[in-house]
Chain A
Amino acid sequence: MAKIVVGKFSYIDDVEKAINELLNSGYSKKMIKFISPFPVEDIMEKLSGTDSPVKFSVFVGGVLGFSAAIALVSVTSLAYVLPVGGKPILAWIPYIIVMFELTVLLGSLFNLLGVLGFSRLPDPFLFLGWRPFHPEFTDDKFGLAVVTDKVDEVYAIFQRNGAEEVNEYAFNV
């Protein structure tokens, strides 16, 4: 039965060596999760890359915001005709401000939804304390979590590469 093996490390180069050994032993990148108190770009690059699909949600939000602004200003102007200061009824130049603001507003809201959705947050399991998580991973330690049914092998790789503590869990990290 597959388990989660979590190793606690103090040094970045130990983590990198452990990741290299895991990859060389046939573990796929998707089976390995790196946990750190701050972003470590070169390890992120190695495991999951630095690009993110959040950009698509931002794009959708921006387009929706822009379209909604066009609809809002044009429908309201035509529904209640109010000639002001010699401006045309559909005065697109002053409306640019509203269009820009709504584009930014919905783009930002969709950005928020995107980052939460793709990161699978909020995570009620961690919130309720059901998932294996070491408090020091937010402080000064680094974690490696591997999904495996060869628990002993991963244990050995972690210990060979300087893990200070190794634990196994039944739940996903």
Chain B
Amino acid sequence: MAKDNNKANTVETVNDKGNIVSSNDRRLIRVDIHEGMSPQALEYGRQFSLSEISEEIFKVSGKASLAYFLGLGFCIALVLAGVITFGVLVIKGMGASGFTPPAFWTLYIVNFVFWVGIAHSGTLISAVLHLFRSKWRRGIFRIAEAMTVFAVMTAGLFPLIHLGRQWYFYWLVPYSNRGMWVNFKSALMWDFVAVLTYFTVSLIFFYVGMIPDLAVFREKAKGIRKFIYSVLSLGWKGTDNEWRHYNRAYMFFAAFATPLVVSVHSVVSLDFASGLVPGWQSTIFPPYFVAGAIFSGMAMVVSIITPLRKFFKLEKFITEWHYDHMGKIILVTGLIVTYSYIVEFVLAIFSGNEYEFQQFIYRVSGDYKFPFWLMVFCNCVFPLLYISRRVRVNPWLSFVISIFVNIGMWLERFNIIHISLSYDFLPYAFDVYKPKLAEWIITAASFGWFFMWFLLFAKFLPVISIAETKELVPKPVRENKH
């Protein structure tokens, strides 16, 4: 026994430089949690104490200010306007929207693709960066995951609104409808299955990641909130056994979520690519859509985080370090999107397909040239400012760029859907689609719906991962105190 004790006391240790400084028993290598960390990550972790992290994050969920209620009230007002407009659509029919033959896919589908794209970035940021053991992810991933869940909840409304006869929406569910079954060869059924899976997995991933932090809130909250957090945290204690299963399960969720994201937005792109409409039928669509989704989603994270950190005083948690990395991702994915735009044109020119060629000539010089060139500016030109580190680490400049990217990505979906539908094969059918007021109100309502959930999330749930941030803090060791 004594011999074993000696062994246990002479385990290998890894110093700050990552070198092994002593060795006897290789099975008991004790790796420093901070090994391999970048200087920024070490500096980030050193600025906190363990209890300060819990305290500061819990403080965000404290008493709400007047500005918070005004913001929440505005979002709810937008949602109510959308509900009333939707009621008008149900009564009057879809003619109240700007359907202009041959453009039968209106802003609702633009919004669907836009929100699904936003959704895809959150889980991807969280899952992929977790698999890569990225440290900077810890400051922003909870917000990105919440964004995913709320964006899918927003996106899911649009196919229902677009249906026209919403009371038949359950026909999408695979069941025997008087002997008829759904068609699994259809891209729309793939969409239904993929988005449903994505929402379920993202929600579980979001919730499971939050359980240890909900336990922190449970111990700090009082009254009814304590009861709610007690239920939500499922009695989490933080034993070695719980952490062991939790870490492994979280890794599996990340491993599942990563290919899932790629598959789901590829499936959304197949809604278009499997159609024969000029400008749609292209093999580049799946990777192009996935890159665009990360691009727009990352930009939305910046758009949300910047006011949030200011409003809830989270500057210490979300720093220049995070902005620098987010800026790099936006820059790289923006370049991939730009490359995809060029490839689309090259394919159209060399395809030998005159409809395809005319479609792209029409995009740059036809009735929709303003949204097209605005999209090019927002997505391809303006984000190039991120080449400068000074721009990347400036939160408010990043915020401005992210807003432009969001506008550009919304316009990208508008251009793909409406220019192609308005100018397809037969000249007698060509027409210019102009959205009507109902569509604009429902579009605004979707933003209200999304931000309403976000504001509620910020007030009631931990906006930054407490447990994972604590992992970056140097471990409290008595020897360091002397």
Q: Which residues of A contact B (CB under 8 A)?
A: 10-14, 20, 23-24, 26, 33-44, 46-52, 54-55, 58, 72-73, 76-77, 79-80, 82, 84-85, 87, 91, 94-95, 97-98, 100-102, 104-105, 107-109, 111-112, 114-116, 118-119, 121-127, 131, 133, 135, 137-140, 162, 173
Chain B residues with CB under 8 A of A91: 185
Q: Which residues of A contact B9 (CB under 8 A)?
A: 20
Identify whether the interface residues of A are mostly helix, strand, loop, or mixed.
Answer: helix
Minimum CB–CB distance from A94 to chain B (whole Å) comes to 5
The chain A residue sitting closest to B246, CB to CB, is A115
**Cβ distance B251 to chain A, nearest Cβ, rounded Å:** 9
Given A20-B5, A84-B186, A133-B237, are A72 and B174 neighbors across the interface (CB < 8 Å)? yes
Question: Are B256's CB and A111's CB within 8 A?
Answer: yes
Q: How far, in angstroms, from A11 to B50 measured CA to CA in the complex?
A: 12
Is B248 a contact partner of A55 (Cβ separation < 8 A)? Answer: yes
Chain B 448-478, CB within 8 Å of chain A: the 1/0 string?
0000000000000000001110110001111
- Roughly how many angstroms separate A135 CA and B221 CA in the complex, as a whole number? 11
Contact call A55/B1, Cβ cutoff below 8 A: no
Output the least CB separation between A117 and chain B (Å). Answer: 9
Min CB distance B120 to A, Å, is 14
Cα of A124 to Cα of B240 in the assembled complex, Å: 19
Residue pair A52, B184 in contact (C-beta under 8 Å): no
Residues of A within 8 A of B205 (CB): 108
Contact indicator per residue, chain B 12-37, by CB within 8 Å of chain A (1) or not (0)? 00000000000000001011010000
Q: Are A111 and B240 in contact (CB under 8 A)?
A: no
A37 to B242, Cβ gap below 8 A?
A: no
Chain B: minimal CB distance from A41 (Å): 7
> Is B194's CB under 8 angstroms from A54's CB?
no
CA distance A125 to B216 in the complex (A): 17
The answer to whether A123 and B219 touch across the interface, beta carbons within 8 angstroms, is no
Q: B65 within 8 Å of A by Cβ? A: no
Q: Are B215 and A104 in contact (CB under 8 A)?
A: no
23 residue pairs of the A-B complex, CB under 8 angstroms, read A23-B8, A33-B240, A35-B238, A35-B240, A38-B470, A39-B243, A39-B247, A50-B244, A54-B245, A54-B252, A72-B184, A76-B181, A79-B179, A80-B176, A95-B185, A105-B197, A108-B204, A111-B249, A115-B245, A121-B242, A126-B235, A135-B220, A173-B239
Question: Contact at B244–A44, with CB atoms within 8 Å?
Answer: yes
Neighbour of B235 across the interface among A11, A35, A121, CB < 8 A: A121
Determine whether B201 belongs to the interface, using a CB cutoff of 8 Å to chain A. yes
Pick the contact of A123 from B2, B179, B234, B248 — CB < 8 Å? B234
Q: Which residues of B contact A (CB under 8 A)?
A: 1-2, 4-5, 8-9, 28, 30-31, 33, 49-51, 54, 174, 176, 179-186, 189-190, 193-194, 196-197, 200-201, 204-205, 208, 211-212, 215-216, 218-220, 230-231, 234-249, 252-253, 256, 259-260, 263, 267, 466-468, 470-471, 475-479, 481
- Known contacts A14-B478, A33-B239, A140-B476, then 5 further A-B pairs from the complex at CB < 8 Å, ordered by chain A residue: A36-B238, A50-B248, A76-B181, A100-B263, A173-B237
Interchain CA distance A160-B300 in the complex, whole Å? 53
Q: Which residue of B lies closest to A65 (CB)?
A: B197
B185 and A11 within 8 A (CB): no
Q: Is the CB of B245 within 8 A of A118?
A: yes
Asked if B185 contacts A87 (CB within 8 A), the reply is yes
Is the contact region of chain B dominated by helix, strand, or loop, or is it mixed?
helix
Whole-angstrom distance between the Cβ of B126 and the nearest chain A Cβ: 14
Give 5 nearest A-B pairs by CB, closest first.
Answer: A123-B235, A140-B50, A115-B249, A52-B248, A126-B235
Q: Which of A38, A104, A123 has the most chain B CB within a 10 Å cutoff? A: A38
Closest to A19 in B: B8
A101 touches B193 (CB 8 A): yes
Name the residue of chain A whose CB is nearest to the CB of B9. Answer: A20
Residues of B within 8 A of A100 (CB): 259, 263
CB <8 Å contact, A104 and B208: no
Known: A72-B174, A127-B235. A84 touches B5 (CB 8 A): no
Q: CB-nearest residue of chain B relative to A79?
A: B181
B234 touches A122 (CB 8 A): yes
Question: Is A94 in contact with B190, judged by CB distance below 8 angstroms?
Answer: yes
Q: How far is the CB of B467 from chain A (nearest CB, A)?
A: 5
Whole-angstrom distance between the Cβ of A146 and the nearest chain B Cβ: 13
Chain B residue with Cβ nearest A145: B239
Contact of B219 among A24, A105, A139 (CB under 8 A): A139
Could you tell me the distance in whole angstroms from the C-beta of A70 to the nearest C-beta in chain B? 11
Given A97-B194, A112-B204, A52–B249 Cβ distance below 8 Å?
A: yes
CB neighbours (8 Å) of A138 from chain B are: 54, 212, 215-216, 218-219, 238
Query: A76 touching B184 by the CB < 8 A rule?
Result: yes
Which one of A11, A104, A123 contacts B201 once the chains associate, using CB atoms below 8 Å?
A104
Residues of B with C-beta under 8 A to A35? 237-240
**Which of A12, A79, A94 is within 8 Å of B176, CB to CB?**
A79
A26 vs B468: C-alpha distance when bound (angstroms): 34
A140 x B243 contact (CB < 8 A): no
Question: Bound state CA distance, A91 and B274, in angstroms?
Answer: 15
